[in-house]
Structure 1
Amino acid sequence: MLSNLVNKYNIAGPRYTSYPTVPYWNNETFSLKKWKSSLITSFNESNLDEGISLYIHLPFCESLCTFCGCNKRITKQHSVESPYITAVLKEWSLYLELFDEKPIIKEMHLGGGTPTFFSPENLKRLINGILKTSKLAKNYEFSFEGHPNNTTREHLQALYDVGFRRVSYGVQDYNETVQKAIHRIQPFENVKRATQLAREIGYTSVGHDIIFGLPFQTLDHVKETILKTKELLPDRLAFYSYAHVPWMKGNGQRGFKDTDLPSAELKRAQYELGKELLAKVGYQEIGMDHFALTTDSLYLSMQSGGLHRNFMGYTASKTQAMIGLGVSSISDSWYGFAQNVKGIEAYYHLINENIIPVYRGHILNEEDLVIRKHILNLMCQFKTSWNENHLYFKEIPEALMQLKEMEADGLLNISSNSIEVTKAGQPFVRNVCMAFDVLLQRKQPDVQLFSMTV
């Protein structure tokens, strides 16, 4: 039954880390001045109540992983570290000039690239440079992405000393053939070492990322990876579909042929097997593609209704304002989005000119804000309602008509003023969101912009 539904609903669609999605941002009406204004408004409304979030993009990697669609710069020259950190701290100072009081930091995440490309000393310089100009929220959470091959005890200790308690490691798959195809060779022993080191030092949440649909990957490979994962029992897991988007400029998905990828049928089987095995191990499904043990903050947040989703993925708490620092980072004021330039040289140039290095974005209108709320509700709580007038939008009847077939398939329940996704429908929540995405409905893309929904 699930196989038939996956076959039916597996179409190209957004992952909804934002609404509007990036291809539908209105860059013509966006400006840096409007972005600053929206952020100041958001900061004044929310800083004292909930604080802000920071995402810092650290783009350097020593080698290219050919499954990766992230913005990165491949180099073995570690002399790039210090100038980059200096520039990020300068960008932070440009944001500080907008505010009348010190920011209260609730969440901070280091992504990449490979954050552990940077030395422990440079990472501490970065974090200390931010902390000395800000305050910490009571229940702050700092996290970073670590590469199992180069995350050392010194990295973990240095970041622990400045407040980090969560780390996630990219595992992808343990099979050597698959690892060679994606140019990411990392034996199980390396992941085990990095996981155990984090726990020895005192990290309270260790996460692993596992991907299905990779080149040459079989059902046995997925099973083997999850059984090895069971041995380490990370606190949370991302188990998601490889997003094959080689047409996107600047990504490295050219190291294998399309014919090397699993068929649609095999990919569906990998997904079903993985979910089944994770449930047997004791992981609870969180939103879309995420799993956690019942002791992890992500699961506890889901239970209490506090789960949130933004450009960092699912988070255990919400802040209205999120500032992205570094090349290609995306910021979110709730009222607007802004993305930094993607090239390091262009980034340095704007920073040296004392200009916040934004090159595109979107200021949300009233309709955007209403639909954003519905999509967040669906992605985080699997339900939404419009029983209050300000949550109604005129295309709701059309959206419900589109969802009638999914209701007939047992994937959701529709009432007069709400919808709720069923347990069977949770893997298809992106499809439900697409019915509410009025910008997508009004103008379907002429070319494929998004990865497949399952």
Structure 2
Amino acid sequence: MCQNLIDKYNVAGPRYTSYPTVPYWNMDNFSVMDWKTSLRQSFDESNATQGLSLYVHLPFCESLCTFCGCHKRITKRHEVELPYITALLKEWDLYRSVLGARPRIKELHLGGGTPTFFSPEHLTLLLTELIKVADLDSDCEFSFEGHPNNTTEHHLQTLYDFGFRRVSFGVQDYNPSIQKAINRVQPFEHVKQATEMARAIGYTSVGHDIIFGLPFQTEADVIHTIKQTEALMPDRIAFYSYAHVPWMKGNGQRGFKDSDLPTGTSKRQQYETGKRLLEKAGYVEIGMDHFALTTDSLYKALQNESLHRNFMGYTASKTQAMIGLGVSAISDSWYGFAQNVKSIEEYYHLVNEGIIPVYRGHILNTEDLIIRQHILNLMCHFKTAWLQPEMTFDELPEVLSKLKTFEDDGLLEFERKQVNVTEKGRPFIRNICMAFDLLLQRKQPDTKLFSMTI
């Protein structure tokens, strides 16, 4: 990749799991009542045709991985499991009272933290109670994030029996020195065992998460990790950039010095090399940072243009409404966002008082909805159009002027009232989306809120 382009576009920018991005949520125009109204509207419009997505945040981990940007609570005390599940079920009851009708679950994802911190017995309790008050879509997708070191055959079989068919395992890198630096030591044999157990039980989509740009990581390390990955051929691979944001996560990401991180140029070379090896092995790039075999549903969703992106990342299942349960979980009604409190103690207090534990959110206006669709189109399909009046907005001429720079660099092409991102432009998709981000352009963030785009 051209060094000039790296120097030009390697700036801090959002990853666009939402628009508006969280730092630009308008708290002055938000209330929990408004959030409930937007969710009920979305549910009434879409439950019968699309169903509902359910994200459950399970925050506990036995040790701190210093690369992680997720909200978690570090503990080895497993007696925390049952009280947390009890609170989750109370929150689910509160949301069902808002919905006013029996929900139809299209997608359910267990994230963390470490979902497999919880025992199979407690996961059974959680899922039994969640599902018994809902209908399951005939084509529902259940997935979870597994830690290769503690995901047992019992975990896998229990979740499979509930309908889980997709699991992703965090790999990061196979170099022991890098694993030690990020406090995530797990030999290849553990990943191999977990992957093969899942397949033997019947999981149809096994994913691996790989990170580039880690401390002490070199291009040779990325090559080694992907070669090891080829031996297992997971159905999906998330190959994403390490986001170094210690100012947001405190000392949790300070197990190494900034000087131990690869430079922007080295990091981009790691990505280019990794992408080339993955494509040579038969993987197809899906949106940003994701690769899949042509037999996987994510690839099929890309082909038929049904690929969707939300706070859970890329998904083959599109629902208008998504409810997030648990501390820090984010919900999305399409018309609004809401995030739960991050303190477990405060979360317990609120749900025990019968209060939906939201502490911030945003209700989208007409402009927000239009920009959100454009950015979603770019992130999922590498193109967007303004042929229809409902896809235009007052500042469109200014946005098109900004896009001209990307055209001059060969990163996108104009086609009538449409813009198409070129193959060369895909690594810069976050930068291209930033040209549409009117809120970011009107007010640059006062502090470092985003990771570097490259």
TM-score normalized with structure 2 length: 0.99
Alpha carbons 1:70, 1:251 under 8 Å: kept: no
Q: CA deviation at 1:199?
A: 0.1
1:174-207 deviations in whole A, cap 9, x for unaligned?
Answer: 0000000000000000000000000000000000
Cα distance in 1 for partners of 2:433, 2:148 equals 35
Secondary structure of 2:359's aligned partner: strand
Secondary structure of 2:367's aligned partner: helix
Superposition map of 1:37-436 within 5 A? 37-249=37-249, 252-436=252-436
Matching residue's letter, 1:25: W
Alpha carbons 2:173, 2:210 under 8 Å: kept: yes
Alpha carbons 2:371, 2:436 under 8 Å: kept: yes
Q: CA deviation at 1:452?
A: 1.0
Cα distance in 2 for partners of 1:221, 1:377 equals 34
Matching residue's letter, 2:339: Q
Alpha carbons 1:72, 1:113 under 8 Å: kept: yes
In the comparison of the two structures, how many residue pairs are matched?
454
Matching residue's letter, 1:211: I
Alpha carbons 2:245, 2:451 under 8 Å: kept: yes
Alpha carbons 1:3, 1:269 under 8 Å: kept: no
Segments of 4+ moved more than 6 angstroms: none
Cα distance in 2 for partners of 1:7, 1:295 equals 37
Q: CA deviation at 1:63?
A: 0.3
The percent identity for this pair of structures is 70
Q: 1:2/1:165 Cα in 2 relative to 1: closer, same or farther (>3 Å)? A: farther
Matching residue's letter, 1:307: L
Cα distance in 2 for partners of 1:247, 1:161 equals 42
1:63-92 deviations in whole A, cap 9, x for unaligned?
Answer: 000111110000000000000001001100
Alpha carbons 1:68, 1:251 under 8 Å: kept: no
Cα distance in 1 for partners of 2:162, 2:362 equals 34
Alpha carbons 1:207, 1:237 under 8 Å: kept: yes
Alpha carbons 1:407, 1:413 under 8 Å: kept: yes
Alpha carbons 2:39, 2:99 under 8 Å: kept: no
Secondary structure of 1:97's aligned partner: helix
Alpha carbons 2:66, 2:183 under 8 Å: kept: yes
Cα distance in 2 for partners of 1:439, 1:343 equals 29
Secondary structure of 1:390's aligned partner: helix
Matching residue's letter, 1:445: P
Cα distance in 2 for partners of 1:143, 1:396 equals 39
Q: 1:243/1:418 Cα in 2 relative to 1: closer, same or farther (>3 Å)? A: same
Matched, 1:21 2:21: yes
More deviation, 372-381/394-403:
394-403
Matching residue's letter, 1:184: R
TM-score normalized with structure 1 length: 0.99
Alpha carbons 1:146, 1:167 under 8 Å: kept: yes
Cα distance in 2 for partners of 1:191, 1:110 equals 19
- Residue ranges of structure 1 left out of the alignment (5+ in a row): none
Secondary structure of 1:318's aligned partner: coil
Matching residue's letter, 1:128: T
More deviation, 395-404/67-76:
395-404
Cα distance in 1 for partners of 2:112, 2:335 equals 26
1:227-270 deviations in whole A, cap 9, x for unaligned?
Answer: 00000000000001000000014571111111111122211111
Alpha carbons 2:308, 2:317 under 8 Å: kept: yes
Cα distance in 1 for partners of 2:4, 2:250 equals 35
Q: CA deviation at 1:416?
A: 3.9
